[in-house]
Amino acid sequence: MAVSAINVRKATPGDLENVLPLVHAYRVFYEQQPDSQREREFTQAHLNNGTSTIYIAEVEREPAGFMQLFKTYSTVHLCGTWILEDLFVDPRFRKNGVASALIDRALEHAREDGAGSMFLETALHNFAARALYERAGWAREARFLKYNAPL
C-alpha cells in the first residue's frame, strides 16, 4: 500500500481503542500470549498516568503504527535518557516510511526534553528492524552486555 502522508502525534487517553490493536499485534509478533484485558489495562494506565509517552502514526486517519518511550536517568552521564521500548508498524503499512517517521519523532522528543541519549533493544532475529535502526544512524552497543534476572 503506497501512503500519501504520515501523521505522527502523541497519543492521548482517547486514542486507546486505536492503539490497542497495534499493541496486541506487537505482542503477537514477539510470541506473547494474547491477553486483551491486560493489554488494555497496561496501555490505558500509561496513557492516563503519563508514565510513558506513546506516539501513534496515522495514514489517512487510520492507525498505522505506534511507539512507546520511557524516561530514565544516567548517573554515568548525569543526564536524562529515553528508552524506545516499543515500536510496531501494521504490516499493511510497512516499507512506506512509517517506522522511520516514528524513529524521527522519538529522537525529536528526546532532544526537546534535553536528554543526553536514547537507546533501544530489539530481538536478534528482527533483521528488518536492525537494518532500519542502522540506516537511521543508530549504533549497535559494543561496550556493555545486557543481563536479565529471572523473576
Q: Which three cell numbers stand for residue 83?
A: 528508552
All structural domains of the chain with their residue ranges: 6-135
pLDDT in tens, 38-85: 999 999 999 999 999 999 999 999 999 999 999 999 998 899 999 999
Three cell numbers written together for 28? 503477537
- Tens of pLDDT, residue by residue over 102-147, are 999 999 999 999 999 999 999 999 999 999 999 999 999 888 888 9
pTM score, two decimals? Answer: 0.93
81 within 8 A of 115, measured Cβ to Cβ: yes
6-135 in CATH: which number? 3.40.630.30
